[in-house]
Amino acid sequence: MKKLLSIIAVMVLAFVGAPVATASEAGEHDGKLDPKEIIFEHLGDGYGWEVPFNHHKRIPLPCIVIGKDGLHIFSSSRIADGKTYVDGNAEFKVAGHDSKYKGKIVEIVDGHEEKPIDLSITKNVCAVFITVFVVIAMMFAVARFHRRNAYRAPRKGLGALESLIVFIYDSVVKETLGDKARKFAPYLLTVFFFIFTMNLLGLMVVFPGGANLTGNIAVTLVLSIITFLVTNLFATKHYWKEIFWPDVPLWLKFPLPIMPAIEIFGMFTKPAALTVRLFANMMGGHMIVIVLTLLIFIFAAVNPVAGGATTVVSVLFSIFMLLIDVLVSFIQAYVFTMLSTIFISLAQAKEEHHEKKVEAREEKENKTEAARLAATQK
């Protein structure tokens, strides 16, 4: 019981303590609190990793840019806090709030800001590498255990991980794809654990967490495009026939291809739905937690007594919302995997299945017609 309470205390500190301590520093200008800046700074990307309880210090990351005179590699600490870095004849800095390149690395050319080709390892990019490493480590840990202990079931963490793998495979992949499950299981299981791990790391504030990956629409878009490619590159001939020449009356597909146009449009709405669903749900969860934390400082600025009372309520609600977000993290990874599995299964349709449906429909129509004729004769 004591160990459980210790774990909960550490989680609360990691999830709630750091934003409470740094929120007031993140958006203060001349003593005024700027909630908008705080929200977008925590949800956005950056060239360094914030240190909890000390917002002015960051873990530096490598900056890689291609400017007017070639490739430049330097630490993000050289351009932190508005500093300008001079490398030979090139000058680089992070654009200010009044620039159209706000928050991005720019090159100073003849007194003007120009956007170089930016290949920097930002916080989100680094978080993707960390997530990939964590997922690979988890999968290899399970595989190594079964290679060494063929007839034993893993316990504790590995047991829970294996149970989750079996649950996703049996209830989602195998249940939907049938005999094609083994072919697509590696991708579907990978995408589930990748999203789930990203979501959990995004809820943490301390390193290696804190990056809002699934709240970045570029990340969810890439995942959806991969599902789109897997779905269509491995699709059957019958799937493509149903798109370009569906089983509908001729006037709906010739001379005006009404149904083919609708089917093609539907091909692209599926990845769009995957992108927006994951992005919106995770972004909303992060924003709610940050806003609840900001209520402490907003009420404290208005009335210290009200701020003290609000602190307890806001922290409790923040903890509650973070616990809900842990559940949402699993649900969103599960939903993305389930929908990807359904889209892939629809693209694996075979001609014989279609013919059976047509025969069953014709048989039903014949029975209906026979019953109608029998009733008429009577």
Helix (H) or strand (E) holding 65: strand 62-67
pLDDT in tens, the chain (378 residues): 444 444 444 444 444 444 444 444 444 444 455 666 666 666 678 888 877 666 667 788 899 999 888 899 998 888 888 888 988 888 999 888 788 888 889 998 888 888 999 999 988 898 899 999 999 999 999 888 888 887 787 888 888 899 999 999 999 999 999 888 999 999 999 999 999 999 888 877 777 777 888 888 889 999 999 999 999 999 988 889 888 888 888 888 888 888 889 989 989 999 999 999 999 888 877 777 777 777 766 766 666 666 666 677 777 777 777 788 888 889 999 999 999 999 999 998 775 555 555 566 667 677 777 667 666 665
Secondary structure of residue 32 in the 3-state scheme: strand
Q: Which two tokens stand for residue 62?
A: 């490598």
Q: DSSP letter at 254?
A: S
Secondary structure of residue 285 in the 3-state scheme: helix
Give the torsion through C-alpha atoms of 26, 202, 276, 218, to 10 deg. 80
Q: Give per-residue pLDDT as tens, 194-248.
A: 999 998 888 777 777 778 888 888 899 999 999 999 999 999 888 898 888 888 8
Distances (CA, A) of 245 to 90, 259, 263, 345, 353: 58, 8, 10, 20, 17
Question: What pTM was estimated for this model as a whole?
Answer: 0.79
Q: Are 46 and 122 in contact (CB under 8 A)?
A: yes
Cα atoms found within 13 Å of the Cα of residue 16, Cβ hemisphere only: 24
Spatial distance between the Cα atoms of 79 and 298, rounded to a whole number of angstroms = 31
Q: Which two tokens stand for residue 149?
A: 């202990």
Spatial distance between the Cα atoms of 265 and 263, rounded to a whole number of angstroms = 5
* pLDDT of 312: 73
* pLDDT of 318: 72
In this structure, the number of other CB atoms found within 10 A of the CB of residue 256 comes to: 10
* pLDDT of 32: 58
**Three-state SS across 70-114?**
EEEEEEHHHHHHHCCEEECCEEEEECCCCCCCCCCEEEEECCEEE
CA angle centred on 301, ends 53 and 318, rounded to 5°? 55
**Amino acid residing at 24:** S
Give the list of residues 6+ apart from residue 141 with CB closer than 8 angstroms, or none: 158, 161
Q: What percent of the chain has pLDDT above 90?
A: 27
Spatial distance between the Cα atoms of 73 and 80, rounded to a whole number of angstroms = 15
Biggest CA-to-CA distance, the chain: 101
Spatial distance between the Cα atoms of 378 and 376, rounded to a whole number of angstroms = 5
**Amino acid residing at 182:** R
Secondary structure of residue 209 in the 3-state scheme: coil
Give the list of residues 6+ apart from residue 272 with CB closer than 8 angstroms, or none: 224
Domain boundaries, the chain: 62-120, 124-347
Spatial distance between the Cα atoms of 102 and 37, rounded to a whole number of angstroms = 12
Q: Give per-residue pLDDT as tens, 100-127.
A: 888 889 998 888 888 999 999 988 898 8
